[in-house]
């Protein structure tokens, strides 16, 4: 239940229904970047008989995102997800053309990171079967629950799933297995194993220590794995810091601009030459460093971003 206050007393804010799927879609498209961090490109994009509700773009990973909205609770997300991702991979040139037309660019297919393509499902409520069916390791699916309330309030909840090993035999779908194989072969969903699996034991141990310390800052911080690093987010969009694996050490990239970090021990170094607008400091963590000193810097990032965005 969601409450407000009136004259010092709790007043329940009643939930409302989205009248139509289109109402949910309009709200999400108009606020795509604020909610997900993705940039909205096109609504109702049709290609080869497929009508994709929304097409968006992930600037951080340089990849296309397909967004589908659901009001019915018995629909198969797996069937649609694999079919749409397969179509995206099969018709890359069309998506490149779409991007270039909207952004007034002249990019080529090789300029995009197709392995990071995703499909995002949005619904007021997902069933347990829908959540479980999309929880296999390697599935490039994201789920967001969106609820509407009185007084113009909305509650957006990204579904964080505990992934289990992918087993094609356990995936209930009517999609041909060749489509699943094609998508899984080209799209990579990074996790702890793919990012750190080939690192030295020293690097893995340092990562584990640092991650545990970062997650103690706020139990709601969520790790998000990418091709080169894992970022820690409090709102599904903004990294307070990220861990980059190196040989026998890890680099902690801090989301702070130059001149804003209080670093009395001089641990952080300038990475503004990497041309990232918000993350301009980094710290080396190896077996010679005190983790508490570094966590103090990460906490500064956390407090700064929470103050800015919350």
Same domain, yes or no, for 138 and 45? yes
Q: How many domains are contained in the chain?
A: 2
Percent of the chain with pLDDT over 70: 96
Same domain, yes or no, for 7 and 153? yes
The pLDDT-based confidence of 97 (bands split at 50, 70, 90) is very high
The set of residues, in sequence order, having a beta carbon less than 8 Å from that of 234 and lying 6+ positions away, is 218, 220, 221, 222, 240, 302, 305, 306
Same domain, yes or no, for 174 and 243? no
Q: What is the residue-wise DSSP string for 131-194?
A: HHHT-BTT--EEEEEEEEEGGGEEEEEE-----B---GGG---SS-HHHHHHHHHH-----HHH
Looking at every residue in the chain, the average pLDDT score rounds to: 92
Cα separation, 178 vs 181, in Å, equals 5
pLDDT for res 253: 98
Of the three residues 167, 186, 205, the one that is the final residue of a domain is 186
Percent of the chain with pLDDT over 90: 71
Residue 230 backbone dihedrals phi, psi, to 5 degrees: -120, 125
Same domain, yes or no, for 152 and 264? no
Same domain, yes or no, for 119 and 249? no
Q: Which of 123, 117, 134 is nearest to 77 (CA)?
A: 134
The pLDDT-based confidence of 172 (bands split at 50, 70, 90) is low
Q: Bigger pLDDT: 61 or 309?
A: 61
pLDDT for res 169: 52
Task: With residue 281 as reference, give the H or E element that holds it.
Answer: strand 281-285
Q: Which of 207, 180, 176, 177 is nearest to 191 (CA)?
A: 207
Same domain, yes or no, for 86 and 206? no
Same domain, yes or no, for 137 and 224? no
Q: Which of 296, 281, 286 is nearest to 247 (CA)?
A: 286
The domain that holds 255 is classified in CATH as 3.90.1150
pLDDT tens per residue, range 104-158: 999 999 999 999 999 999 999 999 989 988 888 889 999 999 999 998 899 999 9
Cα separation, 70 vs 251, in Å, equals 40
Packing angle of the helix pair 177-186, 77-90 (nearest 10 deg):
60
Same domain, yes or no, for 177 and 235? no
The domain that holds 155 is classified in CATH as 3.40.1350.10
Cα-based angle 284, 287, 290 (whole degrees, multiple of 5): 70
pLDDT for res 171: 63
Of the three residues 129, 153, 186, the one that is the final residue of a domain is 186
User: Is the confidence at residue 170, as pLDDT, over 70?
Assistant: no
pLDDT tens per residue, range 203-256: 999 999 999 999 999 988 989 999 899 999 988 788 999 999 999 999 999 999
pLDDT for res 3: 84
pLDDT tens per residue, range 36-65: 999 999 999 999 999 999 999 999 999 999
Other beta carbons less than 10 A from residue 49's beta carbon = 6
Q: Bigger pLDDT: 8 or 283?
A: 283
What is the domain range of residue 96? 2-186
Of the three residues 186, 203, 236, the one that is the final residue of a domain is 186
Same domain, yes or no, for 223 and 203? yes
Same domain, yes or no, for 76 and 130? yes
Cα separation, 256 vs 296, in Å, equals 13
User: Is the confidence at residue 302, as pLDDT, over 80?
Assistant: yes
Q: Residue 282: how many CA atoms within 13 Å on its side-chain side?
A: 17
Are 132 and 163 in contact, with CB atoms under 8 Å apart?
no
The pLDDT-based confidence of 161 (bands split at 50, 70, 90) is confident
Same domain, yes or no, for 166 and 215? no
pLDDT for res 75: 76
Instruction: Out of 70-74, 81-85, 231-235, 237-241, pick the least confident.
Output: 70-74
Same domain, yes or no, for 35 and 97? yes
């Amino acid at each position: 239940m969601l409450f407000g206050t009136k004259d010092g007393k709790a007043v329940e804010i009643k939930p409302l229904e989205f009248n139509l799927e289109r109402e949910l879609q309009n709200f999400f498209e108009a606020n795509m970047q604020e909610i997900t961090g993705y940039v909205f490109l096109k609504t109702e994009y049709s290609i080869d008989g497929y009508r994709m509700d929304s097409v968006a773009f992930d600037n951080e990973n340089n990849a296309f995102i397909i967004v589908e909205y659901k009001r019915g609770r018995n629909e198969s997300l797996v069937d649609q997800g694999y079919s749409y991702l397969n179509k995206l991979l099969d018709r890359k040139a069309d998506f490149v053309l779409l991007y270039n037309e909207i952004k007034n660019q002249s990019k080529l297919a090789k300029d995009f990171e197709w392995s990071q393509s995703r499909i995002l499902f949005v619904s007021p409520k997902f069933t347990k079967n829908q959540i479980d069916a999309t929880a296999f390791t390697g599935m490039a699916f994201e789920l967001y629950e969106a609820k509407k309330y009185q007084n113009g309030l909305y509650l957006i909840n990204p579904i964080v799933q505990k992934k289990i090993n992918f087993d094609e035999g356990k995936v209930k779908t009517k999609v041909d297995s060749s489509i699943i194989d094609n998508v899984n072969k080209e799209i990579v969903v990074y996790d702890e194993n793919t990012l750190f699996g080939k690192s030295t034991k020293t690097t893995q141990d340092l990562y584990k220590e640092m991650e545990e310390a970062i997650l103690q800052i706020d139990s709601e911080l969520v790790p998000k794995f990418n091709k080169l690093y894992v970022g820690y987010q409090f709102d599904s969009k903004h990294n307070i810091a990220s861990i980059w694996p190196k040989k026998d050490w890890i680099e902690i990239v801090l989301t702070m601009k130059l001149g804003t970090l209080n670093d009395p021990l001089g641990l952080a170094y300038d990475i503004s030459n990497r041309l990232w607008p918000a993350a301009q400091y980094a710290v080396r963590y190896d077996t010679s460093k005190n983790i508490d000193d570094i966590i103090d810097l990460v906490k500064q990032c956390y407090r700064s971003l929470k103050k800015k965005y919350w």
